Structure 1
Amino acid sequence: MTVDTLITGARVRTFDPEQPWAEVVGIDGDRIAFVGSAEDAPAARRTINAEGRLLTPGVIDSHNHLLLGFDEDAVSLEGATTLAEVRRRIAEFADRRPELSWICAENAVYSVVEGRRPRASDLDGLTDRPVFVTTYDQHSVWLNRAALSVLGIATGADVAWGRPERDERSGEATGWVTDFYTSAMTTAGLAELQRDIPMYSPERRYRKLLSSIRMATASGITTAVEPQVPLAEIGLFQRALAAGELSSRVITALFHPVGADGAFRQALRQAVSDASAHADADGLLRLGPLKLYADDVIEPHTALMLDDYANRPGVRGRPSYPGRELVEVISELDRLGFQTHTHATGDAGIRLALDAIEEAGRRNGTQDRRHGIVHVECLHPEDLPRFRQLGVTAAMQPRHCSPDLVAGTWMENVGEERWDRAWRFRSLLDSGATVAFSSDWQVGEMDPLIGLYSAATRAGLDGTDAWTSAERVGIDRSLEAYTVHGARAWHAEGDRGRVRRGMLADLVVWSGDLYRHESEPSGLLDEHAEITVVGGRFAHSAGALVEPTADRADDPVAAGHGAEHVHVH
């Protein structure tokens, strides 16, 4: 036997129980043709010596908002922790870009104004143009007075893409809009955004998608799950596929908004059926799961909690669907054959999602649907074993538990008595649950090495202020969560997630042996994906072992922006 490519001299972590470690991997076509020792390796048309580097299955990022990539025509508020800094950046950008009709900004933090939420008046005097600012988690929007006027909110109008807040006494719009992302991706919400806000034009969304895909491939991600795609934006992914721009595989979860009816569900079913009938031969694009919301987020006190927020007596948030309507919706979607991917952060929101999945199985008699709950930020102890019992995937983001992100908002809102419920990676894994790690890009950095570090330390990127250390997870279990568990989450364990003969050749050669950082995980932050192989194709190379892939001027990895993507709450 002669294979196309032989990667030798590697430490190969296969995650194959029959052969956990190997030295050599052979690739023929788009498949793995050999895994074993150097002594038994076949002949090859090309041989690459990994020089002791670690080789693993390609990373499966189970929650990656590819459509929320960097926007060169918007202000980045990364690291802007004070109102003065926010104002400075917006003012400088507005002066520099007089041709823009709107000034858009991204990644604002909730705590930028101490003791309260930001208001339109906080943006006075910067520009006479409307200003539209999204928060780092995409769940809220901050508008200036000009934007409130242009959109009609100032005179009492509502918008389809969110819930404008109004002063309790005066009734005037404050400039803050909640429930943004749950509303923005509805048919009506997206249509209004595309009509009014330049940042949501199809061309700008497409540019973001391409930028994010290139970043994913360069980060060692061979499959990315875009968790919230409106029906109207499926064409962006099909366009990228036709143009040969999908350097990594993409699974798109179609958005199912609150209030969707039977006709909308039939439209979803038709879209999935059409995509399946015309699937690309390389398996780069797949439609299928549906994204829903059980609740919102903890930072603005809108996630659903079992007990009052620690700093808001009488407030417990709210469910996204009225009452327990989510139970009926998931039961119906399960009956129609859909796998669901439900956002739930508060302990009551998580319980509601679990109840809905359990009821769906009871009513429909379905098995192995593998419904998922994403984020699982505050998990009541009584609900922890239900993930394994119900076969529910916990799609979780290690970086989200970092204290430099959650101190001052999440921690204070939940209260110290409930901190032991926070991001229970280890407890869920120990229970036998499927825990699929992910980035939640652009809410968090895309780089899975940051995820590995965060899971191992539960500390900030500077190594300080580690908390809830009982839930730390070592490098091997984290890699398994990014590969084996990621494949299982999406019914893909038959062709990816392990380094095994016959599997797709979706592989990563890292810059070094990641396991040598077990005792000092900070070293992980100095590593990178050296080679990314997708279906036998060398989709990314940093240049140390084979010719580097060509840099693109609009690629944030090549430009160095990816490493700078750090959120501060």
Structure 2
Amino acid sequence: MAELVITNGDIRTLDPLRPRVSALLIRAGRIVATGDDAMVRTMASPGCPVIDAGGRLVLPGFQDTHIHLQESGTRQAFDLDLAGILSLPELKQKLAGFASAHPDRAWINGHGWYTGVFNDHNLTRQVLDEVVPGRPVHLSSSDYHSAIINSKACAEIGLDASVSDPHNGYFSRDAAGVPTGMLNEKAMDWARDRMPRTTDADYEEGVRWGQRHANQHGFTGVLDALVTARHLRVYDALDRRGELTVRVASTALVEPSDSVKEALERIQGFRRDYHSAMLKVHSAKFFLDGVFENRTAAMIDGYKDGPGGNAPVMFGENHLRELFIAFDAARFQIHCHVIGDKAVRAALDGLEAARAVNGDWPSLHQLAHVQVVRPEDIPRFGTLGVMANIQPLWARNEPSVTEVAVPMAGPDLARWHYPFRSIIDAGGGFALSSDWGVSTLNPFRIMQTAITRQAPRHGRDSEPFLPEQRMTLEECIKGYTVNAAAAAWRSTETGTLEHGKHADLIVLDQNLFDIDVYDIGKTKVLLTVVGGHEVWRDPGFTG
């Protein structure tokens, strides 16, 4: 029976009965003892391997409860990465270099252009045509709510002025009604359905890339925030071969076009077919709106900037209520994408209706993003037992927030963007996440932003964004451990370092409790252990 001892650590177990120890004994992938070095060593078998943590901080493995591991890993493994590009000349140079380096690619695919800089006014198919005229090009935005394609791609997929906008999406068009190449929301799905398919083998390689990246940043578990039959098929193949190195909980997509019966039967089938120590389906995913950047966030009083307008909630009110009641009754967690205040309220109203019909139970339904929340809706998180699934990296002064979202939401709601402190103080649950690859997976940069409401790259001298909404370090750690395990319905197995739980843990290069808050983002993970097995070790760590 395989054993492992961790000694000489500042081990914060997050177990309230024994919060701080120096040693752990792991047997058959689970923690069987916690205590001081001498006690744990006497319990270990002769010759048992020992990891000396060197006095460093040891925490339960982090869990990211809103991530797109398979999609983003595949894009990172194979496609052009445009993250950090802030001008058209830079974008064109990057695109030209990638196309030149991959002459065999029938399509040039990329991702990551920043919606705070690029939009349908300055990024068109003609811009891409200048660089790659002879092959189709498809570039997704950083938030994956928009994409731009060139003229060759438009021709390949049959996009022209005669094509109508799909439900819950639209093609940006010029004054003559001709598509500019910018695809928004469901218009992206329309295009992808007509593009060459990615193979399962490539998606498997994408998962390998993504989980290596996750393990390197201290993640032992994730919640894939949008899965379909293909995602689960790929994860299951890796799981059966013992290749998964993160525990994958998942939330299966429900479309507005689904009937209650077909959605419930499909996702009940997923739950039945995929349930192991490393893979499960426990949740149903609903997109209730889009994003401010492409003007698809749903607001109660409409947009307050110059162009005005608004966007609808993507599900009809009665249909959404029926779906929520049915999934809640079937004991699924409900996981909603909500950006605008109208989407937040629609989700809360639907969950309140489900609770009235089905009674209260520890569902920990998730509202992800919660960018704008009206103050009167904030107490409802606690009252309804709903968790805010938050991405604190976005809560900072940057163009997509201060130059786009804040003016669109208007002055009356200027104080209620990403109101994390208010939700927590009102008794709402919360879990931290990244929405990777929309933004960085690095939990320490995210934690620093949550605590300071300042971008890590700008530091202490920059202006904080709504500093009254700051979180504490202790809350951030719980948001990635105890609370994240609860959100993934894994609390009995993970989230703390205590007897009987999976030995999922991390060793850090600096102690988060002892350093300046502005140094938190520099933290590195030296060791990541999942089920008693090392899945990441920094080359410089010799413990």
TM-score (norm 2): 0.92
The one-character-per-residue Cα deviations of 1:450-497 (angstroms, maximum 9, x if unpaired) are: 111111111112213321111111222100111111111122211211
Q: Distance in 1 between matches of 2:241 and 2:308?
A: 53
Matched, 1:524 2:520: yes
Aligned equivalent of 2:349 = 355
Aligned equivalent of 1:233 = 231
Aligned equivalent of 1:62 = 65
Residues 141, 180 of structure 1: 8 Å contact kept: no
Aligned equivalent of 2:27 = 28
Aligned equivalent of 2:192 = 193
The match for 2:102 among 93, 97, 102 is 97
Q: What SS is found at the alignment partner of 1:286?
A: strand
Name the aligned partner's letter for residue 171 of structure 1: G
Q: Distance in 1 between matches of 2:54 and 2:476?
A: 24
Q: Distance in 1 between matches of 2:288 and 2:118?
A: 29
Aligned equivalent of 1:492 = 490
Residues 120, 182 of structure 2: 8 Å contact kept: no
Q: CA deviation at 1:314?
A: 4.1
Aligned equivalent of 1:165 = 171
Alignment of 1:16-165 (within 5 A): 16-43=15-42, 44=44, 45-67=48-70, 68-69=72-73, 70-113=75-118, 116=121, 118-127=123-132, 128-157=134-163, 163-165=169-171
Q: Which moved more, 1:384-393 or 1:401-410?
A: 401-410
Residues 120, 180 of structure 2: 8 Å contact kept: no
Aligned equivalent of 1:566 = none
Name the aligned partner's letter for residue 369 of structure 2: H
Q: Structure 1 residues 246 and 114 mapped into 2: Cα distance closer, same or farther (>3 Å)?
A: closer
Alignment of 1:489-568 (within 5 A): 489-517=487-515, 520-546=516-542
Q: What SS is found at the alignment partner of 1:105?
A: strand
The match for 1:247 among 230, 245, 248 is 245
Q: What SS is found at the alignment partner of 2:344?
A: helix
Q: What SS is found at the alignment partner of 2:109?
A: strand
Name the aligned partner's letter for residue 121 of structure 1: Q
Residues 3, 26 of structure 1: 8 Å contact kept: no
Q: Distance in 1 between matches of 2:463 and 2:137?
A: 35
Q: What SS is found at the alignment partner of 1:63?
A: strand
Q: Structure 1 residues 430 and 239 mapped into 2: Cα distance closer, same or farther (>3 Å)?
A: same
Matched, 1:14 2:13: yes
The one-character-per-residue Cα deviations of 1:130-170 (angstroms, maximum 9, x if unpaired) are: 21110001111111122112211115235879834253742
The one-character-per-residue Cα deviations of 1:290-323 (angstroms, maximum 9, x if unpaired) are: 1111111122221111223231464232211134
Residues 194, 201 of structure 1: 8 Å contact kept: no
Name the aligned partner's letter for residue 237 of structure 1: Y
Q: What SS is found at the alignment partner of 1:441?
A: coil
The one-character-per-residue Cα deviations of 1:263-315 (angstroms, maximum 9, x if unpaired) are: 34212212211223xx3xxx011122111111111222211112232314642
Q: Which moved more, 1:423-432 or 1:494-503?
A: 423-432
Q: Distance in 1 between matches of 2:354 and 2:119?
A: 44
Residues 166, 186 of structure 2: 8 Å contact kept: no
Name the aligned partner's letter for residue 95 of structure 1: S
Structure 1 unmatched runs, 5+:
548-569
Q: Distance in 2 between matches of 1:124 and 1:215?
A: 33
Matched, 1:380 2:357: no
The one-character-per-residue Cα deviations of 1:424-459 (angstroms, maximum 9, x if unpaired) are: 222222223220101111011111111111111111
The one-character-per-residue Cα deviations of 1:373-428 (angstroms, maximum 9, x if unpaired) are: 11111111111111111111111111121323634333333345423212222222
Q: Distance in 2 between matches of 1:195 and 1:173?
A: 16
Name the aligned partner's letter for residue 75 of structure 1: L
How many aligned residue pairs are there? Answer: 531
Name the aligned partner's letter for residue 293 of structure 1: F
Q: Distance in 1 between matches of 2:359 and 2:440?
A: 39
Q: Which moved more, 1:29-38 or 1:219-228?
A: 29-38
Aligned equivalent of 1:561 = none
Q: Which moved more, 1:380-389 or 1:157-166?
A: 157-166
Q: CA RMSD in A?
A: 2.4
Q: Structure 1 residues 114 and 215 mapped into 2: Cα distance closer, same or farther (>3 Å)?
A: closer
Q: CA deviation at 1:72?
A: 4.4
The one-character-per-residue Cα deviations of 1:487-531 (angstroms, maximum 9, x if unpaired) are: 1112221121112222221111111211122xx223122221111
Q: Structure 1 residues 168 and 193 mapped into 2: Cα distance closer, same or farther (>3 Å)?
A: closer
TM-score (norm 1): 0.88
Residues 194, 202 of structure 1: 8 Å contact kept: no
Q: Structure 1 residues 484 and 111 mapped into 2: Cα distance closer, same or farther (>3 Å)?
A: closer
Q: Distance in 2 between matches of 1:58 and 1:309?
A: 41
Residues 172, 183 of structure 2: 8 Å contact kept: no
The match for 2:339 among 338, 345, 351 is 345
Q: Structure 1 residues 14 and 432 mapped into 2: Cα distance closer, same or farther (>3 Å)?
A: farther
Matched, 1:457 2:455: no
Residues 125, 150 of structure 2: 8 Å contact kept: yes
The one-character-per-residue Cα deviations of 1:6-59 (angstroms, maximum 9, x if unpaired) are: 222211212222222222222122211222233533423232221221111111
Q: Distance in 2 between matches of 1:9 and 1:432?
A: 37
Q: What SS is found at the alignment partner of 1:215?
A: helix
The match for 2:432 among 431, 437, 460 is 437
Q: CA deviation at 1:545?
A: 4.2
Q: Structure 1 residues 122 and 175 mapped into 2: Cα distance closer, same or farther (>3 Å)?
A: same
Q: Distance in 2 between matches of 1:113 and 1:375?
A: 22
Structure 2 unmatched runs, 5+:
none
The one-character-per-residue Cα deviations of 1:65-115 (angstroms, maximum 9, x if unpaired) are: 102124344221111111221122112222332221112121112243479
Residues 325, 358 of structure 2: 8 Å contact kept: yes
Q: Structure 1 residues 451 and 201 mapped into 2: Cα distance closer, same or farther (>3 Å)?
A: same
Aligned-pair identity (%): 27
Residues 77, 205 of structure 2: 8 Å contact kept: no
